Chains A and B, each alone.
Chain A
Amino acid sequence: AQSVAQPEDQVNVAEGNPLTVKCTYSVSGNPYLFWYVQYPNRGLQFLLKYITGDNLVKGSYGFEAEFNKSQTSFHLKKPSALVSDSALYFCAVRDITQAGTALIFGKGTTLSVSS
């Protein structure tokens, strides 16, 4: 069965420090992977995706993610965290059992950046 896991419910980091939000996946074949961010009382916003090509993917707001096939991971990273990065982050993988664009979302990780 396909799945995506976010092992940390919450990540705390000080402003200016690097941040990592972890994601691992389990799919058959080549994965299509995504990161979304949700600010309070808002819908999810697309950050970045990996389909193929370079393992390091750059996205919005200075975020990047590294695809690691051997470790089946797709961790979200940012070199220097901002207080405004505090939000709920979701990792997702395309559901290949369905035609089209259905995604399977992780449970989410709350990122808290302190000043």
Chain B
Amino acid sequence: DAGVIQSPRHEVTEMGQEVTLRCKPISGHNSLFWYRQTMMRGLELLIYFNNNVPIDDSGMPEDRFSAKMPNASFSTLKIQPSEPRDSAVYFCASSLVVTASSYEQYFGPGTRLTVT
């Protein structure tokens, strides 16, 4: 299995530009999570989907952030317009809920976003 795939791995953009981060979860997984990691705030859950439906987006910082999951194999996180304080590493993770013995999440390699 290829694991969770994220693209791009690195993104450098100027303030005000639109940024789109992409994620392909592990095939067959039914939950997908977007996290943001910074030195100051640690690992923050932004939003998560179950069977392609957003369940909890309370972690999304503000309206500039949006996420979609049009199908089971693809999700995007968009920031428009981007600001320097959005600079962070963004992780996507997926999991498969079958029984109570599952629940572990599998993380992608992350996208390092730098907004100048």
- Of chain B, the residue at the smallest CB distance from A51 is B101
Number of A-B contacts (CB under 8 A): 64
Q: How large is the interface on A (under 10, 10 to 19, 20 to 34, 35 or more residues)?
A: 20 to 34
Task: Verify if B95 is at the interface (C-beta below 8 Å from A).
Answer: yes
- The answer to whether B104 touches A46, judged by C-beta atoms less than 8 angstroms apart, is yes
Chain B residues closer than 8 Å to A45, beta-carbon distance: 107
Chain A residues closer than 8 Å to B108, beta-carbon distance: 43
- The answer to whether A101 touches B56, judged by C-beta atoms less than 8 angstroms apart, is no
Task: Verify if B12 is at the interface (C-beta below 8 Å from A).
Answer: no
Partner of A49, one of B31, B97, B104, B107: B104
Q: How far is the CB of B100 from chain A (nearest CB, A)?
A: 6
Partner of B109, one of A43, A51, A100, A108: A43
Q: How far is the CB of B52 from chain A (nearest CB, A)?
A: 12
- Of chain A, the residue at the smallest CB distance from B48 is A102
Q: SS class of chain A's interface: helix, strand, loop or mixed?
A: loop
Q: How far is the CB of A58 from chain B (nearest CB, A)?
A: 15
Chain B residues closer than 8 Å to A1, beta-carbon distance: none
Residues of A within 8 A of B (CB): 32, 34, 36, 42-46, 49, 51-52, 90, 94, 98-103, 105, 107-108
A-B contact pairs, 18 of them (CB 8 A): A32-B100, A34-B104, A42-B109, A42-B110, A43-B109, A45-B107, A51-B103, A99-B50, A100-B31, A100-B50, A100-B55, A101-B31, A101-B102, A101-B104, A102-B56, A103-B105, A105-B45, A108-B43
Residues of B within 8 A of A (CB): 4, 31, 33, 42-43, 45, 48, 50, 55-56, 91, 93, 95, 97, 100-110
